[in-house]
Amino acid sequence: MANNVAVSYEQLINWLRLIDESLIEQRAYLTELDAAIGDGDHGTNLARGGTASSAKVDAEQPEYIDDLFTLVGMTLVGTVGGASGPLYGTFFLRFATSVGHRQELTPGQLAEALEAGLGGIVDRGKPDLGDKTIYDAMEPAVRAFRAGIQAGDVASAARAAADAAATGRDATADLVARKGRASYLGDRSLGHIDPGAASTALMFDALATALA
Ligand SMILES: [Mg+2]
């Protein structure tokens, strides 16, 4: 049954902390994926960005959800190199703008914020499904979250989103890259999971844990 229990500031800051923890834990895995079809810096870049944004959040302790995610987005844009910093940074900046000045979100507001973040990825990267990018994990995840809150509670919606992201990530192994550095490899990108799709799957797994 759908319900309207609010998502708290604490749950959202916990989401960010869990993302950081898994980026640090999975840094070598993400780097290995990127070494196969990119320049091998994805794990290091994102771990650095996560650490930098956590330090900013600890220092500034923003009170409102929009200020929190604006700070994270700005820090990612400023500290993470390659394509992933601006993409994830834009995701969080658009998320912040969508949320407005609040300390909790209804499930519907969280779905809107995730959709706004996804829209930022679309505006920045102009991805299509099947290009073998972040979008192949994020688009199904955001769609699953929206469907999930219409059918049930946020915890099960977030778990469905994480599962959809993981499925999307795994499916990138069967795709030839059409965007980014991996696209220069042509068919040689086949058989490898896209590192951006892998980091997106971590992000949604962290959301499921934070909202469980
Ligand atoms: Mg790279």
Per domain, the residue ranges of the chain are 7-211
CATH of segment(s) 7-211: 1.25.40.340
> Distance, CA 48 to ligand 1 centroid (Å)?
13
Close Cβ partners of 152 (under 8 Å, ≥ 6 residues apart): 1, 2, 3
Question: What pLDDT digit, counting tens, does each position of 139-169 carry?
Answer: 999 999 999 999 999 999 999 999 999 999 9
> Distance, CA 146 to ligand 1 centroid (Å)?
30
> Distance, CA 185 to ligand 1 centroid (Å)?
14
Alpha helices in the chain (DSSP H): 9-25, 27-37, 42-60, 65-79, 84-99, 107-125, 135-151, 154-171, 195-211
Q: What is the per-residue pLDDT for 4?
A: 74
> Distance, CA 56 to ligand 1 centroid (Å)?
24
CB 206 within 8 A of CB 22: yes
> Distance, CA 71 to ligand 1 centroid (Å)?
23
> Distance, CA 69 to ligand 1 centroid (Å)?
24
> Distance, CA 109 to ligand 1 centroid (Å)?
32
Residues of the chain under the 70 pLDDT cut: 1-3
Q: What is the per-residue pLDDT for 182?
A: 87
80 CB neighbour count, 10 Å cutoff: 25
Q: What is the per-residue pLDDT for 1?
A: 47
> Distance, CA 104 to ligand 1 centroid (Å)?
35
> Distance, CA 155 to ligand 1 centroid (Å)?
32
> Distance, CA 6 to ligand 1 centroid (Å)?
37
- The structure tokens listed for 105 are 């979100």
Distances, alpha carbon 103 to alpha carbons 65, 113, 114, 210, in Å:
6, 14, 16, 16
> Distance, CA 133 to ligand 1 centroid (Å)?
12
Angle at 9 between CA 153 and CA 148, to 5 degrees: 20
> Distance, CA 31 to ligand 1 centroid (Å)?
8
> Distance, CA 147 to ligand 1 centroid (Å)?
32
